[in-house]
């Protein structure tokens, strides 16, 4: 089959690779009909994640048709159209039982790497390096889905791929990030980053009762989408002092909640620098504006800080004094996608939201290298790329 493979920083290629096979009775094989490129894929593309190997298949936002099933999978049938959550979860462990799916104890066979770095291992993810399980991703014609009896969401007839594809990741991610803001009536939520995740965070903040959403970015078309689709007030961080502007807009008090939908992109991070390989791969960008630092300083006293943006390794010069002295509450992490699949599918079905608003580019799988390039550099007004194998 054809698959999008990582060959190093800024080097993805469409290779011919062996078809996936059922390895476990709980597996399914999915023939992929739609798959997207995510801001998280850019961390791999940038070379920020050291445990990638040349030839690894990328992609964690995908859906398609069930074409083969292990003997233990009873919840779906061959021919069903399904969405696949990006986090892989067993459904039975301490964490899955507590609705903490992205912290599953049984889905990361290489958990020892993360344990060494972080003390504990999170769940395995599709297409996201050997540290997170080494699973082949879904930017391909077919993919093997482990624990298919737990993760697969069957899609009812009448919904297009584009309306449900983002249940795999960015819609639940924006939604959980907004939930983590603990929004109260009358609240103002500030969202850093108007990429796909930020766009869903803005919409979700309103769904969860925010009175005002203020969105921050520098890319005009992303700010415009936040304004038109998301009904947010917007700030261009290259044009205004974000901290001052937010103070002014909130009567000097600051936003009630601050949500970081940027992550490592903007940071002087020495993520995983104790891996020699990473030392070469990670560029230090200490002079760039950093969303997280602004978030902590801008948030009002007693406010909530929600991090959807991905961080790895260490982060320098985080103003913990601001966080401590203002009594901030922090929530963060990989999304517990399984928790949100059905409730958010319902919101799509009843017409509350059409997640396809975020798509700016549809391309063939063969065009993936171009897709990565324009998405990374925000060329051609690119906000979200969907690939059609």
User: Which residues form the interface with Zn ion (CB under 5 A)?
Assistant: 38, 40, 169
- Nearer of residues 103 and 194 to ligand NAD, judged by Cβ: 194
Name the minimum Å distance from CB 152 to ligand NAD: 19
Name the minimum Å distance from CB 310 to ligand NAD: 4
Q: Which does 334 bind (CB under 5 to 8 A by kind): ligand NAD, Zn ion, none?
A: ligand NAD
Q: Are 299 and 331 in contact (CB under 8 A)?
A: no
Concatenated DSSP letters for 207-229? HTT-SEEEEEES-HHHHHHHHHT
- Nearer of residues 165 and 234 to Zn ion, judged by Cβ: 165
C-alpha span between 70 and 227 (Å, rounded): 46
Name the minimum Å distance from CB 262 to Zn ion: 14
- Nearer of residues 187 and 265 to ligand NAD, judged by Cβ: 265
Query: Under the rule (CB under 6 A), what is the footprint of ligand NAD?
Result: 38-40, 42-43, 169-170, 173, 192-198, 216-219, 222, 237, 261-266, 289-291, 308-310, 334-335
Name the minimum Å distance from CB 264 to ligand NAD: 6
- Nearer of residues 52 and 76 to ligand NAD, judged by Cβ: 52
Lay out the sheet containing 12-16: strands in order across. 12-16, 2-6, 56-57
Name the minimum Å distance from CB 171 to Zn ion: 10
Residue tagged 């799988």 (tokens): 365
Residue 154 in 3-state DSSP? Answer: strand
Q: Which does 204 bind (CB under 5 to 8 A by kind): ligand NAD, Zn ion, none?
A: none
Cα dist from 101 to 74, 135, 340, whole Å: 20, 17, 11
- Nearer of residues 70 and 230 to ligand NAD, judged by Cβ: 230
- Nearer of residues 200 and 357 to Zn ion, judged by Cβ: 200
Q: With b meaning 16 or more CB within 10 Å and e meaning fewer, what string describes 140-152?
A: bbbbbbbbbbbbb
Name the minimum Å distance from CB 108 to ligand NAD: 15
Q: Which does 135 bind (CB under 5 to 8 A by kind): ligand NAD, Zn ion, none?
A: none
Lay out the sheet containing 212-217: strands in order across. 233-236, 212-217, 188-192, 257-260, 304-307, 329-332
C-alpha span between 223 and 23 (Å, rounded): 45
CB atoms within 10 A of CB 161: 17
C-alpha span between 325 and 259 (Å, rounded): 19
Q: Which does 178 bind (CB under 5 to 8 A by kind): ligand NAD, Zn ion, none?
A: none
C-alpha span between 224 and 105 (Å, rounded): 41
Q: Which does 336 bind (CB under 5 to 8 A by kind): ligand NAD, Zn ion, none?
A: none
Name the minimum Å distance from CB 15 to Zn ion: 21
Q: Which does 192 bind (CB under 5 to 8 A by kind): Zn ion, ligand NAD, none?
A: ligand NAD
Name the minimum Å distance from CB 239 to Zn ion: 29
Residue 289 in 3-state DSSP? Answer: coil
Q: Give the nearest residue (CB) to Zn ion.
A: 38
Q: Which does 222 bind (CB under 5 to 8 A by kind): ligand NAD, Zn ion, none?
A: ligand NAD
Which tokens in the block code for residue 276? 């020699």
- Nearer of residues 69 and 259 to ligand NAD, judged by Cβ: 259
- Nearer of residues 83 and 262 to ligand NAD, judged by Cβ: 262
Q: Are 203 and 222 in contact (CB under 8 A)?
A: no
CB atoms within 10 A of CB 381: 14
């Amino acid at each position: 089959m054809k698959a999008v493979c990582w060959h190093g920083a800024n080097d993805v290629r469409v290779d011919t690779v062996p078809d996936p096979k059922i390895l476990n009775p709980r597996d399914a094989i999915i023939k992929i009909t739609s798959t997207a490129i995510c801001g998280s894929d850019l961390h791999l593309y940038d070379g920020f994640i050291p445990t990638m190997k040349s030839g690894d298949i990328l992609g964690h936002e995908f859906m398609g048709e069930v074409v083969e099933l292990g003997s233990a999978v009873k919840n779906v049938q061959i021919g069903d159209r399904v969405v696949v959550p990006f986090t892989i979860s067993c459904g039975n462990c301490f964490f899955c039982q507590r609705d903490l799916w992205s912290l599953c104890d049984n889905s990361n066979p290489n958990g020892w790497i993360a344990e060494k770095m972080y003390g504990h291992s999170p769940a395995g993810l599709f297409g996201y390096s050997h540290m997170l399980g080494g699973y082949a991703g879904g930017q391909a014609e077919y993919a093997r889905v482990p624990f298919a009896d737990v993760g697969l969401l069957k899609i009812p007839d009448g919904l297009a791929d584009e309306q449900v594809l983002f249940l795999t990741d960015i819609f639940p991610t924006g939604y959980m990030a907004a939930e983590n803001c603990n929004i109260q009536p009358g609240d103002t939520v500030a969202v850093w980053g108007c990429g796909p995740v930020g766009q869903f965070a803005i919409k979700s903040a309103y769904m969860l009762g925010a009175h005002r959403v203020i969105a921050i970015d520098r890319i005009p078309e992303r700010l415009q989408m936040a304004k038109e689709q998301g009904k947010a007030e917007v700030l261009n961080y290259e044009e205004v002092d974000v901290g001052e502007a937010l103070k002014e807009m909130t009567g000097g008090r600051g936003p009630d909640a601050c949500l970081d939908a940027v992550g490592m992109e903007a940071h002087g991070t020495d993520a995983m620098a104790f891996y020699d390989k990473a030392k070469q791969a990670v560029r230090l960008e200490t002079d760039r504006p950093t969303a997280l630092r602004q978030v902590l300083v801008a948030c009002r006293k007693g406010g909530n800080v929600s991090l959807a943006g991905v961080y790895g390794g260490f982060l320098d010069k985080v103003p913990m004094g601001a966080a401590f002295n203002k009594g901030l509450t922090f929530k963060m992490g990989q999304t517990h996608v399984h928790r949100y699949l059905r409730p958010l599918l319902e919101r799509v079905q009843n017409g509350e939201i059409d997640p396809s608003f975020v798509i700016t580019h549809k391309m063939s799988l063969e065009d993936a290298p171009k897709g990565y390039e324009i998405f990374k550099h925000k060329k051609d007004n690119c906000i979200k790329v969907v690939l059609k194998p």
